[in-house]
Amino acid sequence: MIVVTGATGGLGGTTVEHLLKRVPADQIAVSVRDTAKARHLADRGVRVRQGSYEDPAALRDSFAGADQVLLVSGNDPAADIVGLHRNAIEAAVAAGARRILYTSQHGAAPGNPYGPSDFHIATEAILADSGVAWTALRNAAYGPLGQVLGPWQQTGEIAQPQDGPVPYTDRADIAEATAIILAGTRSYDGPVDLTAPTAVTFDDFAEIASDLTGRTIKRTVVDDDQWVAAQLANGWPEQLARLMFTWYQAARAGYFAEASPLLTELLGRAPRTVADRLAADLDT
Ligand SMILES: NC(=O)c1ccc[n+]([C@@H]2O[C@H](COP(=O)([O-])OP(=O)(O)OC[C@H]3O[C@@H](n4cnc5c(N)ncnc54)[C@H](OP(=O)(O)O)[C@@H]3O)[C@@H](O)[C@H]2O)c1
């Protein structure tokens, strides 16, 4: 049995869709906070049980019979995320899972200023001590490009702080590769990077966007403090604005620069490029 957490979220949900193409539904289970949101999966023969990382007993029940558990990292910055992940890892071990796969982050390394990096490193350390085989899927940045670049189609400029090279990746490609690993026979031990094959900067984006639209799209570097102030003016809580700013610091320090061929190998095709994704996002 393959048990997937976070299956009512973006990455976990798409992973289950890809698993259903590769594995009989009665070999797939999901552990979700709200089972009503997973009715579409129950209707297709997937075992649906309630489980939240705050509730070890529910987790153990929802992981029962697991051969592999995909632990999707939590997303509440106010929570003790490492403690919640520990609960989930302990429940997976107690359920007798042979392997735990965890959605970590590309560039997770000591010293990386991007806030979530530390909780991913700490979770990987718990996995390493768990006594069970584990895989950390260090997923590249996969946020929607509209969010990453801002309203460039309206303004004609990509106005963001100083950045650095990042292999921006399509979340659906990462989900498909995750399903391929879960359903396959090859074991991946420890951390592996799932990234698009090429790292690009906002300068590259401006060039690609200019080619796609036939307009001149400028890249404008926004002052760091002005960027944070603008997010606050847009209504972001200060903690979130400061957290997101650390992402630029990490990018410009090169923590996300390294791309890996593994995603391409797993998919057996080229992952979607940023040009493909920008073209799909163009206003009609
Ligand atoms: N690499 C990247 O670019 C990137 C970007 C964004 C996030 N992430 C990380 O990767 C994770 C998955 O990304 P995503 O795009 O799938 O995010 P998402 O759509 O927000 O999904 C997160 C999933 O985690 C579940 N979850 C959160 N806290 C939980 C808890 N305490 N107990 C049980 N389940 C919990 C959520 O449950 P509900 O469905 O009940 O809400 C949801 O299904 C995120 O949570 C975050 O840690 C990575």
Which pair of structure tokens corresponds to residue 247? 């992402």
Tokens 């400029």 -> residue = 157
Which domains does the chain show, CATH number per domain?
2-143+170-195+259-272 (3.40.50.720)
pLDDT at 179 (0 to 100) = 98
**273 phi/psi in degrees, rounded to 5:** -90, 170
Tokens 């529910």 -> residue = 58
pLDDT at 139 (0 to 100) = 98
DSSP structure string for 21-60: TTS-GGGEEEEES-GGGGHHHHTTT-EEEE--TT-HHHHH
C-alpha distances out from residue 130 to 4, 22, 69, 88, 157, Å: 19, 28, 13, 11, 48
Which pair of structure tokens corresponds to residue 30? 């999901």
For atom 26 of ligand 1, the residue with the nearest CA is 74
Give the number of other CB atoms < 10 A from CB of residue 57: 9
pLDDT at 284 (0 to 100) = 60
The rounded Cα 57 to chain-centroid distance in angstroms is 26
Residue pLDDT, tens place only, 196-223: 999 999 999 999 999 999 999 999 999 9
52 CB within 6 A, ligand 1: yes
Residue 85 pLDDT > 80, yes or no? yes
Mean pLDDT confidence for 36-54: 98
Cβ proximity of 194 and 141 under 8 Å: no
Residue 78 pLDDT > 90, yes or no? no
- The best mutation among 3, 8, 11, 195 to test binding of ligand 1, ranked by most ligand atoms within 8 Å of the C-beta, falls on 11
Residue pLDDT, tens place only, 143-190: 999 999 999 999 999 999 999 999 999 999 999 999 999 999 999 999
- The best mutation among 37, 72, 255 to test binding of ligand 1, ranked by most ligand atoms within 8 Å of the C-beta, falls on 72
103 CB within 6 A, ligand 1: yes
Mean pLDDT confidence for 121-141: 98
Residue pLDDT, tens place only, 106-117: 999 999 999 999
**272 phi/psi in degrees, rounded to 5:** -65, 135
> 281 alpha carbon to ligand 1 midpoint, in Å?
23
195 CB within 6 A, ligand 1: no
CA 174/CA 111 separation, integer angstroms = 25
Burial track 119-135 (b if 16+ CB lie within 10 A, e otherwise)? bbbebbebbeebebbbb
Cβ proximity of 192 and 137 under 8 Å: yes
> 102 alpha carbon to ligand 1 midpoint, in Å?
12
Average pLDDT score over the chain: 97
Mean pLDDT confidence for 55-84: 96
Return the ligand 1 atom nearest residue 141 CA: 3
Give the number of other CB atoms < 10 A from CB of residue 210: 15
CA 252/CA 144 separation, integer angstroms = 20
6 CB within 6 A, ligand 1: yes
Residue 73 pLDDT > 90, yes or no? yes
**40 phi/psi in degrees, rounded to 5:** -60, -30
Give first-to-last CA distance, the chain, whole Å: 44
Residue 245 pLDDT > 90, yes or no? yes
